[in-house]
Amino acid sequence: MAYDYDLIVLGSGPAGQRAAVQAAKIGKRVAIIERRQMVGGVSLHTGTVPSKTFREAVLSLTHVPALSSGVPVQRPRPTIEDLLHRVNDVIERELDVVARQLSRNGIDLVSGSARFLDPHVIAVEGGAMERHASAERVLIATGSVPSQPPVPCDHRTILTSDDIIHLARIPKSLAVIGGGVIGIEYASMFAELGVEVTLIDRHARPLEFCDAEIVDELIHQMRRRRVTFRLGEAVKNLSCSAEAGGASIELESGKTVEVDAVLYSIGRVGNTATLDLEKAGLKVDDRGRLTVDAQYRTAVEHISAAGDVIGFPALASTSSEQGRLAVCAMYGLEAKPAPAGFPYGIYAIPEISMVGATEEDLTKNKVPYEIGVARYAEIARGQILGDESGLFKMIFHRETRKLLGVHCIGTQATELIHIGQAVMTLGGGLDYFLETVFNYPTLAECYKVAAYNAANHLRAKSSATA
């Protein structure tokens, strides 16, 4: 059969972009089908780029320097227009970058909603008529969408994360239901704006996959910004009152929370509901996600999937690499699998980043370890930046001295983590940091201070057992 394309990619987010470019680089005829009017997917339009830009806008518009007399400068509260102006500007610039990349590589961009007619043929609905396109291979990279609240979402009082960039005003009070990454990020941003924030989560601790000490520090700093935590609490009833102009949340414990707006942030589901996957011979799990093998192939051999639509870890960085590796597997290109030690970045205020194992992981697996800690208050660069609350931790194997994990909360944590990631990937450990010279003053000095701290602990324990 003569196909229209060698590869059709469904979705133009990080996974779809990287996959399409990789295939085009080896001479394949490639098309991307994107239901939005513009490329970039959720990551560019409602997810990663807007939320991180919103964060930077919040920081730049609320940061209040002190006069030489020590008297704080009074700055008016920013408006939602002030905040979203920067967001929209960055989205437009990134759109241009992505569109140029696809055009430069000869990738056809088809606008419309895709659905399978059979395992090789895709119908595209959009405009005056339905079009059909066929391909030898298909990559599903349609991303994810927020889980919907149990009551109708009016996009003004009851919100999902997709609605933040369309807000008409900054609420005076906000309840965030869900203490995952997205919930924590937005809760901290709105608290920085002076919004009265209540965070509700059924777990005893938010961000359970993170180092407990780092999360404790985050909670402490968010409480200083008057965030109220309702942890270990489940929502019994959520109601919206148009007359009262707000929402009411009844908790199973009997407490009631009255707020101007609610951000419902209980996870995300695979964006697969409209694809008619059964016609391609595919099924999804209860959260709309596809199952793939180590080569990102689904149960139908010529159909692959990558990015948020396959679930964990659902990061823009890992999704991009998954898209590339999926295409390499399709066409027999040699490629190393993605390393296990990928970094996490949580863009809360303050930001958190981590790579490798936590103390909890190592304790559970009975791995002997030692930690080294540095605090930004001890680092000249921390003093210069005005961040004395940052905390940096490294974990080493007690016997081999290899680096097992790095965890950080504070200014530029997501940048700082990459030094540790490189050392872990290359099999380095404590001695590297003890012998290496870092620029001064930099936050990278945290590595040296934490290494000395760990070495002192190991030396003390060695002397005690001698």
Q: Given this model, what pLDDT does residue 236 score? A: 95
Helix pair angle (445-465, 413-425), 10° resolution:
50
Q: Given this model, what pLDDT does residue 260 score? A: 95
Q: Where are the domains of the chain?
A: 5-146+269-330, 158-266, 350-465
Nearest 5 degrees, angle CA 404-CA 410-CA 413? Answer: 50
pLDDT (mean) for 243-259: 90
The residues with which 330 forms a beta bridge, in sequence order, are none
Q: What is the pLDDT of residues 111-163, one digit of tens each?
A: 999 999 999 999 999 866 789 999 999 999 999 999 999 887 788 899 999 99
Question: Exposed/middle/buried for 38, CB within 10 Å: 0-12, 13-18, 19+?
Answer: middle
Q: What is the pLDDT of residues 283-305, one digit of tens each?
A: 999 999 999 999 999 999 999 99
pLDDT (mean) for 44-52: 87
Model confidence at 68: pLDDT above 50: no
As a whole number, the mean pLDDT across the chain is 92
Topology alike, domains 5-146+269-330 and 350-465: no
The residues with which 235 forms a beta bridge, in sequence order, are 251
Q: Given this model, what pLDDT does residue 270 score? A: 96
The CATH number of domain 350-465 is 3.30.390.30? yes
User: Residue 45 — pLDDT band, cuts 50, 70, 90?
Assistant: confident
User: Residue 75 — pLDDT band, cuts 50, 70, 90?
Assistant: low
Considering the four listed CATH numbers 3.40.50.720, 3.50.50.60, 1.10.150.80, 1.20.1260.10, the one that applies to the domain covering 5-146+269-330 is 3.50.50.60
**Contacts by 200-205 with C-beta closer than 8 Å and gap 24+?**
200/175, 200/176, 200/230, 200/233, 200/235, 200/249, 200/251, 200/257, 201/177, 201/229, 201/230, 201/231, 201/232, 201/233, 202/232, 202/233, 202/234, 203/179, 203/231, 203/232, 204/231, 204/232, 205/231
CA-CA-CA-CA torsion sign (176, 312, 105, 117)? negative
Q: What is the pLDDT of residues 170-222, one digit of tens each?
A: 999 999 999 999 999 999 999 999 999 999 999 999 999 999 999 999 999 99
Q: What is the pLDDT of residues 385-441, one digit of tens each?
A: 989 899 999 999 999 999 999 999 999 999 999 999 999 999 999 999 999 999 999
The residues with which 146 forms a beta bridge, in sequence order, are 268
Model confidence at 72: pLDDT above 60: no
Q: Given this model, what pLDDT does residue 66 score? A: 47
The residue type at 446:
C
In this structure, are strands 131-140 and 5-10 parallel, antiparallel, or unpaired?
parallel
Q: Given this model, what pLDDT does residue 337 score? A: 81
Measured CA to CA, the distance from residue 387 to residue 9 in angstroms comes to: 44
The CATH number of domain 158-266 is 3.50.50.60? yes
Q: Given this model, what pLDDT does residue 37 score? A: 65
